[in-house]
Structure 1
Amino acid sequence: MRTITIRTRIMLMLLLVGILSCAILGYLGSDYGQKIIAKEVNDQLSIVLSSKKDQIKTYLTSIENVVEVMGQNPTVIESAEAFSEAFYKLEEEQLNAECSSALGNYYTQFIDRLSQNMEIKKDQLLYYPKSLEGCYLQFEYIVNNPNPLGEKDKMNYAPDSSAYSSVHQKYHPFFRMLLKKYNFYDIFIVDLKKGDIVYSVFKETDFATNLYTGPYRSSNLADLARRLQTNSDLQKASWIDFAPYRPSYGAPAAFIGIPLTIEGQTVGGLIFQLPIGEINRIMTGGKQWETDGLGKTGETFLVGQDHLMRSVSRFFIQDSLGYRKTLLQKGEVEANIDRMYRYGSTVLQQKIHSNSLNEAFEGKSGVIEDSDYRGIEVIRHYEPLNFPGLDWAIVSKKDKEESFQPVTEFNKSIFIQTLVLILCITLLSLILANRFVKPVEKLTQAAKQLINGDTSQKVVIKSKDEFGVLGDTFNTMIGQLDEQKKAIQDQLQENQNLLENFVPPDFINRIKKGERTFADEYQNVSFITVDIVGFGALTNQVGAKKSATILNDLVDAFDEAAARNYVEKLRTVGDTYFAACGLFEPRLDHAKRIVQFALEIKQLLAQINLNRKLDLQMKTSVHTGNVMAGIVGTDKFSFDVWGETINYLFTMNHKTQDISLVLSEEVTERLSDLYTFTPVGEGTMSGKRIFTIKTV
């Protein structure tokens, strides 16, 4: 029997290895290519989402700033008083038959058009103003206004010689200029006590109606007016989310408003109706999706808590008929689609069914592959908008088919290249067989060095056959070992950073030098302890998970306030927050800063109570003195502070349970020129008086 020579065996073996290597490389190349493309798509979507998020938040912030500035504008406040006074001075006007008929005819047309967009009762009495002043003003400024519908704001005053028309003539040009300059849809002045809209720029059917008892008492505009009545921060604007607004024929409308005050007394409310067009322009990039890097199927849009869009769909704009056909094929109700096309927008019409939105509304962000609202597989990025007052999520997505089209082309290229490579290996196998031993020796030598722990050696094999692949793989393995070494070093550094969160840097250096138990004395340090009163009861009421979320929010808010006031947090134990000022960074104004911190977190807790509808209270004690600080324990050591100052602080906190903020005599002596202090009780503690701030 004829034996197969070693040369032949090597040739056959090289050929077999070559074919297998090509197949493996092809698979790995395809898999790697898909991952690279996926990463590029995800990176692009992430960049676009981040950019759009910044743009929309910048826009909303600019609107908020305008509203807050206008809320302090003397002209605006003066106009609110003037409009309210003139509104209630209007005498009852006897509307003649022509006037009544004209008002009725206008509402007939209004209701007919509104009923095309919304399911309503066609009863004029449901929409008429409830007051004679409202009927009179709507006739003079809407029905008897010579300007066409949509341009009623062009009339500066009604020719009726009334005091209201004089006021309107004086202030209307200012508000109309403001509306045009900032592209608002409408501007309202509302009597927040009675609920009357005493002025509007655009003059829709909400003008001169009552938001508390009138036809639009259930609107989001009315909800905002009620909210402004109880707004604790009179200089802070409040938002209300988009909802169908009947005076605008059911179109989506969002509002932002602020109370108007004089010396702390509310004289009215200034409310702006937000334009949806600017939000759509930002989210669509001015319809330049491909320029934004979204290709032919990518888009970015906003979604509300109700899972309805807050900005328009790209596909509704680009291919309206195709969009309708796609929704019908997906099984959407035709009546809902028809309503969408009557509005001419997907805002508050297109439902987004995705569990990822629930995560976004819980404050999470992420990437998911699923079906979009058209029933098409997409790559979706999502995250919360994180804008106070508007609970929205922002989504950036792109069709998977378009995203991975380069992978399909890449796979074709890999297949052709693999066939060519196999042919080359077959032709060159004879030559490579003669050189087989040399690469093996190199690999053997390098492996021995690796066993000895030397990862610096690289195998140099210039051939492009299987040995070249093996050499490259070996080098890659060595590189990974180096990376693992680096990862271990990084982990050690991370542990160092984590330790610094619990122990001061100076103490860490001493621990590294071998010291285990030591302490230093610190003089002139101010301390504060804060107990969240009522948190235990709240935990029993809402459960551990929700109470933990509330406690985290409180601690984060306290930490931010501490950083602003150069206060050093020492620890939190349950619902108790313990901090100092001037401990590790000596400060001459440590008492002042820690009192400022105490007052600030009191305001923060009040705001959190208001936002979350809670009734948490705060028991705060402040004391100044000398302490000892150091490392306690050997195996499980910790940083701690102690001394008479700390004992006095917690004793003071315990014995003054009914006072929200108490300060020691040492603190008040330092700050007597900044605050007015009031003694707590008639007695003393350890021979010293305890005080509270009079204004608190």
Structure 2
Amino acid sequence: KVLPGFASLVDAPLSPRAFMPTSPAALRLQAAYVVRNDDPAGSEGRKIVEVNSGPDGTLSTYDQVIGRYRPFFLRAVDTHALEDVLLVDAKTGTIVYTVSKRIDLGASLTSGPLSNSGAARAFRRVIEGGGVPGQTVLEDFSPYIPAGLRPSAFIAAPVLTDGNLTGILIGVLSVRQIDDFMTFDGRWDNVGLGKTGEVYLVGANDLLMRSPSRFLIQNPEGYYKALKAVGVDAETVAKIKHFGSPILAQRVDTLASRDGQKGLSDTQIVEDYRGVSTLTSWAPVSVQGLHWIVIAQEDEAEAMAPVQDLRHSIMVVAAVAAVLLTAISVLLASSFTRPIHAVLAGVNKLAGGDESVRIAVKGRDEFAELAQAFNAMANEIAERTARIDQKTRDYEQLLRNIYPDLIADRIRLGESSFSERVRNVCMVVIIIEGFDGLVGGGHRDTLERINTLVGDIDEACNGAGLEKIRTVGETYIAACGLSTPRLDAAQRSLAFVAQVDTILERLARSYDAPLSARAGVALGDAEVGVVGRHRLLYDVWGPTMLQARRIVFDAEPRTLRVTSAVLQQLSVRDGFVQMPDIVLFDSTRV
């Protein structure tokens, strides 16, 4: 069912035996799940066998084990718009579970036909990175056999059990989200790209497209005809037709892509991949080690249409003036044609790319009106070019904004590590008692109350010189000394906790609700970086964060617990009582 779907895309004959798993366990998995699917290649709308039960309805051992985690995998696919999720044994490289139940279920990423796939490269990168908590890797698009050789990108993260690397979770990214983002959901006109404008991504290493072409979406036959006209071979066109996408098939070898490959940005009138002259802006972008080029363009004919219309009007006026010149004196002729020459000179400069040219308006005659019309058109062209430049910068900034400032410089230098250790950081974890009652009390102004509560705490956090990390339900996490070193991080953190207690007392009276806080503060080193599978987020982790979260767990309401490292930094230690040591998961005593 799978191999015939892409047999025409490869040169050598395909042997089904080469793609079959070799271990008995993998054979049983594929027999129970993959063979029973109506489309193992993974098309949309196919029926997936999720549970394998015996004749008496009892679940298999495999389903009993994996059943408790299946909702998590399904939720990850839906929430992050993934095409599939693979769970891989870190020791053997065997894919032990997939949501889509394709032929990679039970296959090995260390040997066999999938050992050189993008999923295998993502697997090896996690292993080589040590499988540390919070580690994520992103692998560029490449053909994936279980998906019928459709281009697929992968994001991977380690799965740890008691601090040991036991598995690797690999998400197969859906190209539809990138497509929708780069094509504005088909609303090009609404974002100022006219009838021929588009924005697309190109791989810097191979100059192949990483997002769709507007012309393929709107007029497929015209798109294929344009590719053939510029010499694209029939095999490439057939590949684009087969997948319905130019990703990893359409080569963009233009001045814009070659300059972007060199790390250059510019705006010029150049030929695009269709051989059409376009007003184009381009810039290089980098995302987690992936090097792409973003290109925004509009056909020159559309972008420069106001100039051509103005040139036509000027030529008509010039012809009329020439007839009149035969009936007047040379002196009057010189005076009469001077404004026309000024306008014509301006048009020629504008057509030559000088968008700053403007014509001085003198008098109130027809030539003054013509000069005003020229200046208006020149302003419109300059504004359109500026909008295209701004959109290009916005797309580049949008991709870069997913990273915090703390590690942005290291990413620009091309480092493959996306985390950094910061020393002497105070981590503050506050649990707001009574928060659930505030949320579930059925009050009509619940949202307003929550916004007031979190907003007041945010202001106190900023005022104390701390940085908010995140808020999850009743838990508020902040840090001091993360971006800016603080010698008094401990004092600032405790002052912030005291302000939170005051805020909760005030709001408890105002809302007639029992609100209080218990807090934990720990001092030490912290790891900061980027985490997440689809929506990348700035986060903090490490022993210091674990200590702060652990000591607040057993704290009584309106109680502050601190580690000994915090206490040593305080000049006044009155009011603190020594508590029994707490043993963390790695046997560390706090």
**Structure 1 length-normalised TM:** 0.47
Larger RCO of the pair (alpha carbons < 8 Å, separation 6+): 1
1:394-409 equivalences in 2 (<5 Å):
394-409=294-309
- Tell me the equivalent position of 1:303: 202
Give 1 or 2: higher helix fraction. Answer: 1
| Deviation sequence 1:15-60 (CA, Å, 0-9, x none) | xxxxxxxxxxxxxxxxxxxxxxxxxxxxxxxxxxxxxxxxxxxxxx
User: What is the alpha-carbon distance in structure 2 between the residues aligned to residue 318 and residue 390 of structure 1?
Assistant: 29
- Tell me the equivalent position of 1:366: 266
1:463 to 1:139, Cα distance in 2 relative to 1, 3 A: closer
Structure 1 residue 292, shift from structure 2 partner: 2.5
- Tell me the equivalent position of 2:226: 326
1:500-519 equivalences in 2 (<5 Å):
none
- Tell me the equivalent position of 1:277: 176
Q: Given the alignment, which residue of 130, 138, 155 partners 2:22?
A: 130
Structure 1 residue 229, shift from structure 2 partner: 1.1
- Tell me the equivalent position of 2:568: 673
Q: Secondary structure at the match of 2:294?
A: strand
- Tell me the equivalent position of 1:193: 91
User: What is the alpha-carbon distance in structure 2 between the residues aligned to residue 307 and residue 139 of structure 1?
Assistant: 41
Contact 1:193 1:229 in 2 (8 A): no
1:463 to 1:370, Cα distance in 2 relative to 1, 3 A: closer
**Residue type of the partner of 1:208?**
G
**2:153 maps to 1:262:** no
Q: Given the alignment, which residue of 85, 106, 113 partners 2:5?
A: 113
Q: Given the alignment, which residue of 219, 234, 238 partners 2:117?
A: 219
User: What is the alpha-carbon distance in structure 2 between the residues aligned to residue 393 and residue 143 of structure 1?
Assistant: 41
| Deviation sequence 1:379-421 (CA, Å, 0-9, x none) | 2111123322322111111111222222111111123344567
| Deviation sequence 1:554-606 (CA, Å, 0-9, x none) | 9xx99xx9xx9x9xxxxxxxxxxxxxxxxxx998649999xxxx978x999xx
User: What is the alpha-carbon distance in structure 2 between the residues aligned to residue 412 and residue 140 of structure 1?
Assistant: 73
**2:51 maps to 1:157:** yes
- Tell me the equivalent position of 1:245: 144
1:431 to 1:370, Cα distance in 2 relative to 1, 3 A: closer
1:439-450 equivalences in 2 (<5 Å):
none
**2:273 maps to 1:381:** no
Bigger Rg over Cα? 1
User: What is the alpha-carbon distance in structure 1 between the residues aligned to residue 11 and residue 2 of structure 2?
Assistant: 14
Structure 1 residue 152, shift from structure 2 partner: 6.4
User: Which consecutive unaligned segments of at least 5 residues does structure 1 have?
Assistant: 1-108, 434-458, 473-548, 567-584, 605-669, 676-696
- Tell me the equivalent position of 1:166: 64
Contact 1:377 1:400 in 2 (8 A): yes
User: What is the alpha-carbon distance in structure 1 between the residues aligned to residue 188 and residue 288 of structure 2?
Assistant: 28
| Deviation sequence 1:429-471 (CA, Å, 0-9, x none) | 99999xxxxxxxxxxxxxxxxxxxxxxxxx99968699x99xx
Structure 1 residue 195, shift from structure 2 partner: 0.2
User: What is the alpha-carbon distance in structure 2 between the residues aligned to residue 551 and residue 158 of structure 1?
Assistant: 47
Q: Secondary structure at the match of 1:252?
A: strand
1:570-649 equivalences in 2 (<5 Å):
589=488
Q: Secondary structure at the match of 1:398?
A: strand
| Deviation sequence 1:585-630 (CA, Å, 0-9, x none) | 998649999xxxx978x999xxxxxxxxxxxxxxxxxxxxxxxxxx
User: What is the alpha-carbon distance in structure 2 between the residues aligned to residue 181 and residue 463 of structure 1?
Assistant: 64
Contact 2:268 2:281 in 1 (8 A): yes
- Tell me the equivalent position of 1:350: 250
User: What is the alpha-carbon distance in structure 2 between the residues aligned to residue 413 and residue 172 of structure 1?
Assistant: 69
| Deviation sequence 1:210-265 (CA, Å, 0-9, x none) | 11123201101000011111335520321000001111001010011111123422
| Deviation sequence 1:335-366 (CA, Å, 0-9, x none) | 22112211211111000102433432444321
1:13-28 equivalences in 2 (<5 Å):
none
Contact 2:90 2:168 in 1 (8 A): yes
**Residue type of the partner of 2:53?**
P
1:281 to 1:421, Cα distance in 2 relative to 1, 3 A: same
User: What is the alpha-carbon distance in structure 2 between the residues aligned to residue 308 and residue 245 of structure 1?
Assistant: 16
Contact 1:153 1:201 in 2 (8 A): no
Structure 1 residue 671, shift from structure 2 partner: 9.4
Q: Secondary structure at the match of 2:93?
A: coil
Contact 2:41 2:146 in 1 (8 A): no
User: What is the alpha-carbon distance in structure 1 between the residues aligned to residue 19 and residue 316 of structure 2?
Assistant: 73
Number of residue equivalences: 379
User: What is the alpha-carbon distance in structure 2 between the residues aligned to residue 168 and residue 238 of structure 1?
Assistant: 25
- Tell me the equivalent position of 1:315: 215
Contact 1:128 1:215 in 2 (8 A): no
Q: Secondary structure at the match of 1:203?
A: coil
1:200-211 equivalences in 2 (<5 Å):
200-211=98-109
Contact 1:257 1:270 in 2 (8 A): yes
| Deviation sequence 1:173-204 (CA, Å, 0-9, x none) | 44224323432110111112210111000011
1:247 to 1:460, Cα distance in 2 relative to 1, 3 A: closer
1:551 to 1:296, Cα distance in 2 relative to 1, 3 A: closer
1:420-569 equivalences in 2 (<5 Å):
none
User: Which consecutive unaligned segments of at least 5 residues does structure 2 have?
Assistant: 334-359, 373-411, 425-461, 466-483, 493-523, 530-564, 571-590
Contact 2:200 2:296 in 1 (8 A): yes
1:430 to 1:142, Cα distance in 2 relative to 1, 3 A: closer
**Structure 2 length-normalised TM:** 0.55
1:238 to 1:121, Cα distance in 2 relative to 1, 3 A: same
> Among the aligned pairs, what percent are the same residue?
30
CA-atom RMSD in angstroms = 4.8
User: What is the alpha-carbon distance in structure 2 between the residues aligned to residue 413 and residue 407 of structure 1?
Assistant: 10
**Residue type of the partner of 1:373?**
Y
**2:188 maps to 1:289:** yes
Structure 1 residue 425, shift from structure 2 partner: 9.2
Q: Secondary structure at the match of 1:391?
A: strand
1:342 to 1:383, Cα distance in 2 relative to 1, 3 A: same
- Tell me the equivalent position of 2:313: 413
| Deviation sequence 1:510-536 (CA, Å, 0-9, x none) | xxxxxxxxxxxxxxxxxxxxxxxxxxx
- Tell me the equivalent position of 1:36: none
Contact 2:159 2:167 in 1 (8 A): yes
Structure 1 residue 142, shift from structure 2 partner: 1.4
Structure 1 residue 137, shift from structure 2 partner: 0.2
Contact 1:298 1:397 in 2 (8 A): yes
User: What is the alpha-carbon distance in structure 2 between the residues aligned to residue 301 and residue 315 of structure 1?
Assistant: 12
User: What is the alpha-carbon distance in structure 1 between the residues aligned to residue 326 and residue 362 of structure 2?
Assistant: 20
Q: Secondary structure at the match of 2:82?
A: coil
Contact 1:130 1:214 in 2 (8 A): no
- Tell me the equivalent position of 2:35: 143
User: What is the alpha-carbon distance in structure 2 between the residues aligned to residue 275 and residue 312 of structure 1?
Assistant: 13
Contact 2:38 2:47 in 1 (8 A): no
1:385 to 1:163, Cα distance in 2 relative to 1, 3 A: same
User: What is the alpha-carbon distance in structure 2 between the residues aligned to residue 130 and residue 402 of structure 1?
Assistant: 59
**Residue type of the partner of 1:184?**
L
- Tell me the equivalent position of 2:513: none
**Residue type of the partner of 1:117?**
L
Q: Secondary structure at the match of 2:114?
A: coil
Contact 1:152 1:202 in 2 (8 A): no
| Deviation sequence 1:614-658 (CA, Å, 0-9, x none) | xxxxxxxxxxxxxxxxxxxxxxxxxxxxxxxxxxxxxxxxxxxxx
User: What is the alpha-carbon distance in structure 2 between the residues aligned to residue 157 and residue 586 of structure 1?
Assistant: 54
